Every structure is written in structure tokens, then in C-alpha cells.
Amino acid sequence: MHDDGFHVYDTTLRDGAQQEGLNLSVADKIAIARHLDDLGVGFIEGGWPGANPKDTEFFRHARTELDLKHAQLAAFGATRRAGAKAADDPLVAALRESGAPVVTLVAKSHDRHVELALRTTLEENLAMIRDTVSHLRTEGQRVFLDAEHFFDGYRSNPAYALEVVRTAAEAGADVVALCDTNGGMLPDELADVVAAVAEAGARLGVHCHDDSGCAVANTLAAVSAGVTHVQGCANGYGERSGNANLFTVVGNLQLKRGYDLGVRLGEMTRVAHAVSEVTNVAPSSQQPYVGTSAFAHKAGLHASAVKVDPMLYQHIDPELVGNDMRMLISSMAGRASVELKGRELGYELSGEKAKQVVGRVKELEASGYTFEAADASFELLLREEVEGARTRFFTVESWRTIVERRTDGTLMSEATVKLNAKGERIVATGEGNGPVNALDRALRLALERIYPELSALELVDYKVRILEGTHGTEARTRVLIESSDSTGEWGTVGVQDDVIAASWDALEESVTYCLLRAGHTPA
């Protein structure tokens, strides 16, 4: 367990799960908690037992299925109801019985919310805080308090907002987290409020939403003003515009401010992407520190400088957060980009050869190709330029597709592929729910007997882009295919006037690259 002097508190499983379109099962929450524990966060908020059946079930499963090595589990809930006793409140009982060593209580700190939302008096709200905190402390649980709408409440009635902090601390709350619930604060004004509240003597935390785009900046400003407990969500998940991105916060604190948070930053990129897989929310490529584009270089000027010293265009060494530097190949790329990308793929390119590859890339991109998301296509192009011949494991004689509309209204596609591989002429037919799917199946049927590795090949994503036409309605079509063989992923690209032809080109390159990865020698 890390030192208690500074808290990294994750609320992905509760606040992050409120993101539109994000729906976590109990198994999902268990999996995410394990990843966060591997990263080394101090606290994982599991949800609201008693108020949400799924969260109640999560805490029941967590007792036997979660063996946390670094983090402590926190149960989230509200203070007792007005006019009741904490010991008799069923929701408070659910917090007691959750098995969580830590309880985080949410309490109103904005006078208007107390009177309009809770429909009680300001004094009764303080009594609710005092009674619930002291009760849970007596029952042996550690208590944090989230002062909801604190900054808006401080603007409205600073004396009352401060009294909420004092009441919670005096009742035994270890931390009072000041919440920018509406996400509208800016860093300088938030820091001023935190500094003023710090004089009340309580240990303070901060919980920021990103509605003004300042959640991470506000969190860092709060730390500078005296906060020692930061809350956030993996990948910035959360309601509306999201919560403070916990990965960005801890990266900045640990690498830029020198805080020893106990977080294993070398695992951060892996954990960020693992959580994205569980939530089924596509990761942002431009996410700081952990995004696939966070250390990607495209412009030729940048690449020339990076070739001399990578730190000329990078604020940290990407390996510190488990990420990699990437060179993007595009029409903006210069010779340095190609040389660096070639070296990354195992090719040492001479100046003239690099110039030749750059010229080829720019020529192809002018006709609609893009290689930024088609790393496999670029490697095949590079091999062709270096070796003087196209990498081929088979030669295609012909292919065709037929789309049939049947009497019941259903559509069925059929494809036939004729090719030669290892001295054999092979004809194969496949059916699919579209012409591209049918072509994919036919190509696999033709080759899997000779190359059994293709049984592991999977098409992960398929994108079509209609490029701007040059004459009226004429247009070129670009198809990007992302493939996987269970040990890695790669992208290929095809460009033709016809979408099926473009798809075939991308499919053929994907299969070729799969066989290259498997160690086969081209025909």
C-alpha cells in the first residue's frame, strides 16, 4: 500500500460509468478494477451499493474475486435522509455492509441545492453530514466526503460552504473533496477558492468535471493550492464532457511536479487501452501520454529534428509511460521520416533510396492513398522499393462478386476467387453478408489449406471514404482495413474507382502481410 500522504482516487466505476453510451457489467467492473490496481492507484470507487442493484452485486463479488495489491475499495453513497438517523437509514446500512474499508459520502455544499433539491434546512443538512460521518467512523470505516457543487456554493454563500467542510472534518471525515460538479471553473479562480478553504484546517481533495475543458488544469491548480487528494476517471470518462483524466493528472504530477504517487507509469498506456477494450469505447488517439498519436510525428521538419534528437519535439521519453514514438508516413513526410520509419521496420535506407520512397509515397497520396493508418501497406511498399519486387505469396488470376436479392427480401453475396499458390491453381467460392465479406471468405477458403495461419486472421475494422471527384460525380474510393492475428494488429489501404476493387486491394495486402508476419518466404 502506498504512503497516505497523497491520494490518487479513481472513480471510473461510478462517475465514469455515467458517460453516455457506456454500460458496465459486474464482470466489466471487476476487470477494470484489476487493471487500475495494477497501475497502482490508491483508491477505487466501486459504485453506490443499495441505490444500484448492479453496484450492490459488484461489492458482493469483490469480496471474493478482487484481491487488490495496491488500492483500497471505496463505496459511494449519500448522507442520511433529512429527519432520520444514520443508524436507521437503509442506504447508510448498505454502505456499512458493502465490505469496503472506505466510504465516500456525497453531501450538498451549495445552499440553493440544500433548500431546492434536498428540500430541507441548511442546519439539517449539516446535521445529516455530522451524523452520517460519525456513525460510519464509529462502525470502523474510513470516510471521505465529496462536497457537491462546492465552488458554485462558495460563490453563492461562502460561509455556509466553509461550514460544510468544517462539519465534515470535525465529525471524522479524513478528506473533504471540493467538487466542481458543473465543470465551469477556471484554474486561477479555482486555486483562489482552494487556498481560502485550506485555512479551515481540513485535509482537502478535488473532483473536477471537464465542461470548460479545464478539468486536468483545475486539478493541478488545486494541488498547487494545497490539495492532497485528487479524483478522476480513466481516459477522462464521465457524464457530459467527462471527468478529469486521471492518467493525464498522474502523469503530470509524477513527471512534471516530482510527486511520488506510487503509480507505475510504465503500465499507464497498457492500462488505458485495456480499459478501453473493456468499456468498448474507442480510445482517443490524441489523449496525452497514452494516445497512439501522443508521440507520433508527421511533418517532415519535425522528423528531421527528431532524427537528430527525439526530445526536440517530445516533452518526455514515451517509454516512461509505456508508449512509443511513431513516424507517420504521408505527403507531408520528408526523407528523415522515411529513414526513421524504415529503421523502425528494420531497413537502413540510403539517401537516394529514401528520396525514391518519399517520391512514391507522395505520388500515391496524390491519387488518394494514405499510409498513416495503413502501416502494413507502407511496409509492403518499402519492401518493394528496397528489394525491387512486390512481396507475393500467391498470384490472382481473377475474382468476381454477385449480389442476389432473394424472394423473401434478403440479400446474399457470393464471391469467386481464382489464384495460384505454391504451384497450384485454386478456385474457391464464398458467401457473405456483403460482397466484401464474401470476397474475404473466398480468399481464405482458397489459401487456408496451404497457409493454415490464416485461420487466425480477423478483420477488426473496415472504413470507406469517398474521395473528392475531379469531374462532376466521378470519385475515387479509399478503403482502410484493420486486421489482427491475435498477436498484433495492422492496417492496409486500397484505392480504386470502385469500392469493391479498393476493398479487394486492401484485403489482398492484409493477407500478404499476415503471411509475412508468420515467417513465410514470398513466392
Cα distance between residue 153 and residue 200, in whole Å = 16
Mean pLDDT of 426-451: 93
Averaged confidence pLDDT in the chain: 88
Provide the CA 182 distance to its chain's centre, in angstroms: 23
Residue 473: the pLDDT is 47
Lowest mean pLDDT among 8-12, 59-63, 271-275, 343-347: 343-347
> Do the beta carbons of residue 421 and residue 523 sit within 8 Å?
yes
Cα distance between residue 339 and residue 355, in whole Å = 9
Length of the chain (residues)? 523
Mean pLDDT of 90-108: 95
Cβ count near 248 (within 10 Å): 22
Among 247, 238, 246, residue whose Cα is nearest residue 281: 238
Residue 402 has pLDDT above 80, yes or no: yes
What is the maximum span of the chain, computed from C-alpha positions, in angstroms?
A: 88
Per-residue pLDDT reduced to its tens digit, 353-371: 777 777 787 778 777 887 7
Query: What are the chain's domains?
Result: 7-258 (3.20.20.70), 296-366 (no CATH), 367-392+456-501+512-517 (3.30.160), 394-450 (3.30.160)
Mean pLDDT of 84-92: 93
Residue 373 has pLDDT above 80, yes or no: no
Mean pLDDT of 230-243: 96
Per DSSP, the three-state class of 309 is: coil
Provide the CA 296 distance to its chain's centre, in angstroms: 17
Mean pLDDT of 11-33: 93
Rounded to a whole number of angstroms, the CA Rg of the chain reads 29
β 142-148/102-108 pair status = parallel
Lowest mean pLDDT among 44-58, 134-148, 192-206, 287-301: 287-301
Residue 95: the pLDDT is 96
Residue 397 has pLDDT above 60, yes or no: yes
Give the DSSP H/E element, type plus range, for residue 278. Answer: helix 268-279
Lowest mean pLDDT among 56-60, 148-152, 178-182, 490-494: 490-494
User: For 439, left (φ over 0), alpha (ψ -120 to 50), or beta?
Assistant: alpha
Q: Computed from CA positions of residues 23, 26, 31, 32, in that sequence, does the dihedral angle turn out positive or negative?
A: positive
Cβ count near 26 (within 10 Å): 18
Is the pTM higher than 0.85? Answer: no
Q: Computed from CA positions of residues 123, 125, 131, 133, in that sequence, does the dihedral angle turn out positive or negative?
A: negative
Provide the CA 436 distance to its chain's centre, in angstroms: 30
**Above pLDDT 70, what percent of the chain?**
90
Per-residue pLDDT reduced to its tens digit, 479-506: 989 898 878 888 899 999 889 999 999 9
Residue 307 has pLDDT above 60, yes or no: no
Q: How far is CA 430 from CA 96, 398, 461, 512, 519, in A?
A: 60, 14, 20, 19, 27
Q: How far is CA 452 from CA 415, 417, 523, in A?
A: 21, 18, 17
Residue 437 has pLDDT above 60, yes or no: yes
> Do the beta carbons of residue 43 and residue 9 sit within 8 Å?
yes
Residue 465: the pLDDT is 82
Cβ count near 423 (within 10 Å): 6
Cα distance between residue 132 and residue 94, in whole Å = 13
Q: Give the confidence band of 468 by pLDDT, cuts at 50, 70, 90.
A: low
Residue 39 has pLDDT above 70, yes or no: yes
Q: Give the confidence band of 472 by pLDDT, cuts at 50, 70, 90.
A: very low
β 326-327/72-78 pair status = unpaired
Cα distance between residue 213 and residue 205, in whole Å = 20
Q: Rounded to 10 degrees, what is the CA torsion of 241, 243, 245, 250?
A: 160
Q: Rounded to 10 degrees, what is the CA torsion of 55, 68, 270, 324?
A: 140
Residue 184: the pLDDT is 95
Lowest mean pLDDT among 58-72, 278-292, 387-401: 278-292
